[in-house]
Each structure stands twice: as C-alpha cells, then as structure tokens.
Amino acid sequence: MSGPRGKSLLATFIALLAMRGLAPEHLDPWRGWVTFKEFARQVHEAEDPGVTVQIASAGTELPVRLYFMRQVLVRVDDRLEPVGGVVCELWFAPKARPPVDWEAWSFDSATFERFIDLVEQHPAFADLLTQRPVASSVYWETAT
C-alpha cells in the first residue's frame, strides 16, 4: 500500500504532467524526462530518497523498457527502508540490437546534477529519448 505520502507524490507528478499537456499513457520521452527531473527536485528530502533511471531489454523479441523512479523511504530504527516509489515507465519497440541493461541511482553520484549528467550522457538513454514509445505509464510501485 502506498500510504498518504505515496499517493501525494503520485498526484504531484501526474499534476505536473497535466500542466504540460502530457498524458501518462502517451508520454513524449524527452518531455516526460524533463518533467520527472522537475518533480524529483520539487519533492527532494534532506536524506536522499533515491532516484533511479533504468534501461531493460529482454532480447530482440520484447520491448525495451525505460524506467524512472523516485523512491520513498521510511525510518525504521536507525536505518531507512524503501516502501515504494513513483514510477514513469516507457516501452519501446523491440530492437534488432537491443541496448545493454543499465541503471543509475542518484545516491551513487556526488550531487543530483551529476546524476542527471550521467544519465543524459548515456548513449542508450539519449537514443531512447529520440524515439516514440509504444506505451507509457505512471504509477506507484510498492517495494518488495
């Protein structure tokens, strides 16, 4: 269950998309990414909750998946535990030469801006942002 914080964050991201005339089920990859970056900056917390960008490819017959998530954490005793996150997911047509699976997390970079640079300079990420996805979705994903 996402709880009030998760529902609030999801509503915030969907509202930002709507303000830009973007529908979660028909996202333009570049405009979706720009909006997601803005969302992640607006809802930033003192302790980095973690933002991730992932590319997943399951071979030449299945769609390529581009996934952005802003994780939500709760304090449990002396540590932070993930409870879920707001996800923006795009699927692209299968490719004869699919990209290699890749992921980056914001807490692995010195600053959020360096994380953004790392993501935007990745060749497969840059390539996917210029393509039209076959589907997209925005949702809450509960941590497992």
Distance CA 22, CA 76 (A): 36
Q: Please give the chain's pLDDT, 144 residues, in tens.
A: 456 677 888 999 999 999 999 999 999 999 999 999 999 988 766 555 689 999 999 878 889 999 999 988 877 888 888 888 999 999 999 988 889 999 999 989 999 899 999 999 999 999 999 999 999 999 999 987
Domain that holds residue 21: 3-142
* Tally of structural domains, the chain: 1
Question: What is the value of pTM for the model shown?
Answer: 0.88
Give the closest residue to 102 by CA, choosing from 61, 55, 52.
55
Q: Determine contact, residues 72/83, Cβ cutoff 8 Å.
A: yes
